Chain A
Amino acid sequence: MRTLFSGPRPSLRDHKPNVQLAERRLFLRGGLSIGALSLLSGCDLTDNEQVDSVLTAISRLNDRAQAALFSRTTLAPTYTAADITPNFPFNAYYAESKLRPVDGEHWKLELAGRIADKKPWTLADLRTLPQESQITRHICVEGWSAIGQWSGVPFRTFLERIGADTKAAYIGFTCADDYRTSIDMATALHPQTIIALDYAGAPLPDRYGYPIKLRIPTKLGFKNPKQILAMTVTNDYPGGYWEDQGYNWFSGS
């Protein structure tokens, strides 16, 4: 279980008031734990390495099941401007006050791995490519969801333009905030996977990932990297910040 516990826990920031209230209430009620249940949920099972390796193996099986279920042509439902969630939430593995903005003037997207033309891309370069817009639902692994509008370059167009090996298995991303994630090639080539440059018709604000965010409406929110600095096309499993701690890698919707 060490790997699962090696990093910060997913944050409950957004729900902190609720959680504190509920915890206080339940603390007052006290001692609610049921014998057999607390045995199950206590250290015995949660810290057991054999249990952990079985659960990890099943998570890999679930990666394959989800890849099989994934359709290259099925589109995520789209919504109207009226459905957009007001004040779309900020979410990261740190609090918004810790956000470090990226200087877009000097920013370049670095390319690595199985790519023919590894010349870095500036924001202006990306603006010269065809753009698309979508209003889709962002679903967080925590359970909440919100609808937003993202526009930018279809990722498939970009991958073809740079001569990426689209037969490779993975694309890995590293971000300015030291976040990492990776996706499968089928999802990368999905028509709704876009390099988002705009949110709600204006350049992506810092809190939503300026200068670029990869918007993937067929995956959970944590698979949509923000403030991307570099991407690599590879056949070696790149993992990711949350994935290395135990979140399911495929995490498709």
Chain B
Amino acid sequence: MDRPITASPVLGGTPPGKPRPLHSGFVRATHWINALAILIMVTSGWRIYDASPLFEAVFFPKGITLGGWLGGALQWHFAGMWLLVGNGLAYVAHGFASGHFRRDFLPLRPREILHDMIAALKFRLPHVAGRYNAVQRLLYVGVLGLGVLVVLSGLAIWKPVQLQLLTAVFGGYEGGRLVHFAAMAGIVGFVVVHLALVALVPKTLPTMIIGRELHLGRAREVKP
């Protein structure tokens, strides 16, 4: 159980006396901007959905939507998209260029994922600071893919004439609407699991805000 699942060199080259934050400032900033952008896009998107629901059984109560009416929700959605896409592109470019994705999101091995998933369900998955377990890696790569999908399907239904080749990839305008909805549902599903995991291991929250674990009363940097 104590065996490290991956030998992540995430904190490898840290010069002595200068501990590296568990999450770089860039990752922390883009993470929280993304959380805000997702909140805006999902809640305004729900209001837009309500103007013409895809499924009879699915309707979002006004109290959890953003924008007040269809026109207001559309304004939020098409403002939020710039934040989501601008921040997302910066995050992805940084993730590839800095080696963060390769270092921290890979490898994705089915055996490890299965092992960690079983351990997690038994509440026996240790959280090693500075290293993502295989379930986390799968979730993060998965939500990245969903993020790409939600943006592309959104563009496809926003510009079904100018970007008609993209729209055709999703099976046309109506197909694009379904994919856009499904990608939203996947992201919301991720957020639910994500928040549950954070609630289970609350010490991860300060690491995502200030870059290190919080030790009240003691100013001590965390060593891996």
Chain A residues in the interface with B (C-beta under 8 A): 1, 4-5, 9-10, 12, 14-15, 18-19, 21-23, 25-26, 32-34, 37-38, 40-41, 45-47, 54-56, 58-59, 62, 69-71, 74-77, 137, 139-145, 217-218, 242, 245-248, 252-253
Contact = CB atoms under 8 A, between A and B. Distances in A.
B79 A41 contact: no
A74 B162 contact: yes
A4 B71 contact: yes
Contacts of B61: 23, 26, 32-33
A246 B70 CA distance: 9
A77 B58 CA distance: 30
B78 A248 contact: yes
Given A10-B70, A46-B67, A141-B74, A70 B59 contact: no
B159 A45 contact: no
22 contacts: A5-B68, A10-B70, A18-B56, A18-B59, A19-B53, A21-B56, A25-B59, A26-B61, A40-B39, A41-B64, A41-B68, A46-B66, A55-B72, A58-B79, A59-B78, A59-B79, A74-B162, A74-B164, A77-B161, A142-B52, A246-B74, A253-B161
Interface in B136-183: 159-162, 164, 173-174, 177
B75 A58 contact: yes
Nearest to A14: B52
B71 A218 contact: no
B162 A38 contact: no
A71 to B, nearest CB: 6
B43 interface: yes
Nearest to B49: A143
Q: Secondary structure at chain B's binding surface: helix, strand, loop or mixed? A: helix
Contact of B52 (A21, A25, A143, A247): A143
B75 A246 contact: yes
A220 to B, nearest CB: 10
Contacts of B72: 1, 4, 46, 55, 246
Given A18-B59, A41-B64, A248-B78, A143 B48 contact: yes
Nearest to B167: A77
B207 interface: no
B162 A55 contact: no
B161 A4 contact: no
Contacts of B216: none
Given A15-B53, A37-B43, A58-B78, 9 more contacts: A1-B72, A9-B69, A18-B53, A37-B39, A37-B63, A46-B66, A69-B159, A74-B161, A141-B74
Contact of B63 (A5, A32, A248): A32
A80 B51 CA distance: 28
B190 interface: no
B157 to A, nearest CB: 8
Given A18-B56, A54-B79, A141 B159 contact: no
A21 B159 CA distance: 32
B51 A12 contact: yes
